[in-house]
């Protein structure tokens, strides 16, 4: 009815205002980022154009470049946009997360790609020295979590600063290996597997990793494994970058809901948390809490067992050295701000749950870094 009235008003008044106002209130679709060019530059480069390809771009689309201020398009079409990256963004070597964001209503943020700033020629270093391949996009596994025997599709994108052919090899964490940018693999036992990806040009190598959760098959006649009620409602991280307090002064907190089996008795059971290179295992007491109070599972209980199929959990890690274990996920210690996507896996009673959190992260060099989801 609203559209009919507005079009009628347009016809009788010869005014574009009502129709334009209606169009502006239409939800903006989320953007999709498929690739970017270039994928690397040398530290100390001048201002340069960065081309991003994808879908649903518009004049209000913003480009997130690591922790630096967002970039606005210099030119844009629905499937491609161009931004000018200032030289101050690439004055030092490093790896930066690149994503695009459409504003509300609707909108949202795309997946991330990696942009690398490589070191330039160094005094006394042969400029002809071979350089290792560079990661363009983080490795992915689909589905994750998977079931025992289910085929998992892996993928990764990489490039080489010397234009050499990149050889991609995978260690799936269960004794099997694979090759190529998009292999597949099925796991024969439940668990959390650390998957290592190696990039090689035949001489120099680089690498990265990811975690894959594999759940057991359901027994005939048993209750189905539930994963859709898992969620993190609150997450926060803080790193201390002061030189005199670089160790054992970081903190992490997570809270949310997690499915539990009716009749589950927590006493003596273990819970495992995996985030990047951080792995923590908690042993629960009869009250659903670990002895160090770092993990708490809260829910309705009777005679030492949970009586409902869902519970709430809280994880609190304090006074630990966490930044080196989470840095690979995109957290940085130089001054800046940006979004950081971090996969979180929680394994409870043999069933793995997984979610990707987006931390709104801000860092101040030599002081601290803080992020919240």
One fold for 32-118 and 134-215: yes
Which residue has 């201390």 as its token pair?
240
pLDDT in tens, 191-233: 999 999 999 988 888 999 999 999 998 766 555 555 567 899 9
Domain spans in the chain, listed from the N-terminal domain onward: 32-118, 134-215, 231-372
DSSP H or E run through 240: strand 231-240
pLDDT at residue 357, as a whole number: 93
pLDDT at residue 202, as a whole number: 81
Average pLDDT value for residue range 277-291: 94
**7 DSSP assignment:** H
pLDDT at residue 280, as a whole number: 94
Return the closest-CA partner of residue 338 out of 73, 98, 106: 98
Question: Residue 288, class by beta-carbon neighbours within 10 Å (0-12 exposed, 13-18 middle, 19+ buried)?
Answer: buried
Highest mean pLDDT among 26-30, 190-194, 325-329: 190-194
pLDDT at residue 359, as a whole number: 92
Pick the more confident residue, 331 or 10: 331
Q: What is the mean pLDDT of the chain?
A: 85
Pairwise CA distance, residues 90 & 75, whole Å:
21
Pick the more confident residue, 242 or 243: 242
Q: How far apart are the two ends of the chain, measured CA to CA in Å?
A: 39
pLDDT of 170 strictly over 60: yes
The CATH class that applies to domain 32-118 reads mainly beta
pLDDT at residue 138, as a whole number: 84
pLDDT of 122 strictly over 70: no
pLDDT of 15 strictly over 60: no
**pTM value?**
0.71
**27 DSSP assignment:** P
Average pLDDT value for residue range 64-70: 88
pLDDT in tens, 157-168: 998 888 888 889
pLDDT at residue 222, as a whole number: 55
Q: What is the dihedral of CA 333, 339, 342, 344, to 10 degrees?
A: 120
Pairwise CA distance, residues 148 & 158, whole Å:
29
pLDDT of 180 strictly over 60: yes
Average pLDDT value for residue range 260-280: 93
pLDDT of 241 strictly over 80: yes
pLDDT of 14 strictly over 50: no
Q: Is 124 left (phi over 0), alpha (psi -120 to 50) or beta?
A: left
pLDDT in tens, 81-103: 999 999 999 888 777 889 999 99
Q: How far is CA 259 from the centre of its chain?
A: 23
CATH architecture of 134-215: Sandwich (2.60)
Count Cβ atoms below 10 Å from residue 258 Cβ, excluding itself. Answer: 22
Q: Name the phi and psi angles at 348, rounded to 5.
A: -130, 125
Return the closest-CA partner of residue 139 out of 65, 196, 178, 214: 196
Pairwise CA distance, residues 201 & 216, whole Å:
38
3-state secondary structure of 21: helix
pLDDT of 341 strictly over 80: yes
Q: In the structure, what pLDDT confidence band is assigned to residue 40 with cuts at 50, 70 and 90? A: confident
Return the closest-CA partner of residue 40 out of 119, 142, 148: 119
**Does a cis peptide bond (omega within 30 degrees of 0) precede residue 287?**
no
Average pLDDT value for residue range 236-248: 84
DSSP 47-76: -EEEEEEEES--TT-EEEETTSPPB--SEE
**245 DSSP assignment:** G
Return the closest-CA partner of residue 100 out of 80, 118, 117: 80
Name every residue whose Cβ is closer than 8 Å to that of residue 311 and which is 6 or more positions away in sequence.
Answer: 257, 258, 259, 260, 288, 297, 298, 299
Q: Is 87 left (phi over 0), alpha (psi -120 to 50) or beta?
A: alpha
pLDDT at residue 24, as a whole number: 52
Average pLDDT value for residue range 277-289: 94
């Amino acid at each position: 009815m609203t559209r009919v009235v507005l079009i009628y008003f347009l016809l009788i008044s010869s005014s574009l205002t009502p129709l334009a106002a209606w169009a502006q209130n239409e939800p903006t679709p989320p953007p999709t980022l498929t690739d970017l060019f270039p994928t690397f530059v040398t530290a100390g480069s001048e201002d340069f154009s960065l081309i991003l390809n994808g879908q649903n771009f518009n004049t209000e689309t913003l480009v997130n470049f690591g922790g630096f201020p967002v970039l606005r398009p210099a030119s844009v079409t629905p499937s491609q946009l161009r931004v000018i990256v200032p030289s101050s963004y690439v004055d030092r070597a490093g790896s930066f997360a690149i994503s695009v964001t459409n504003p509300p209503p609707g909108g949202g943020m795309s997946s991330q790609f990696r942009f690398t700033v490589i070191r330039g020629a160094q005094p006394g270093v042969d400029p002809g020295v071979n350089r290792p391949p560079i990661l363009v996009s983080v490795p992915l596994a689909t589905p994750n979590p998977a079931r025992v025997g289910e085929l998992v599709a892996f993928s990764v994108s990489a490039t080489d600063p010397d234009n050499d052919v990149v050889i991609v090899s995978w260690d799936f964490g269960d004794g099997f290996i694979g090759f190529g940018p998009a292999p597949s693999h099925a796991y024969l036992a439940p668990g959390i597997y650390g998957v290592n990806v190696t990039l090689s040009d035949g001489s120099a190598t680089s690498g990265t990793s990811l975690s894959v959760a594999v759940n057991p098959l359901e027994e005939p006649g048993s209750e189905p494994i539930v994963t859709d009620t898992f969620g993190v409602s609150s997450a926060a991280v803080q790193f201390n970058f002061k030189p005199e307090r670089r160790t054992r002064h970081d903190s992490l907190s997570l809270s949310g809901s997690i499915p539990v089996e009716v009749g589950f008795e927590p006493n003596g059971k273990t819970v495992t948390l995996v985030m990047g290179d951080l792995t923590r295992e908690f042993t629960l007491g009869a009250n659903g809490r670990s002895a160090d109070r770092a993990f708490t599972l809260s829910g309705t209980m009777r005679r030492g067992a949970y009586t409902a199929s869902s519970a709430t959990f809280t994880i609190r890690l304090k006074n630990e050295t966490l930044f080196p274990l989470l840095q690979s996920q995109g957290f940085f210690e130089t001054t800046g701000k940006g979004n950081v996507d971090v996969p979180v896996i929680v394994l409870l009673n043999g069933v793995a749950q997984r979610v990707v959190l987006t931390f709104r992260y801000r860092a101040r060099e030599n002081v601290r870094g803080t992020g919240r989801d």
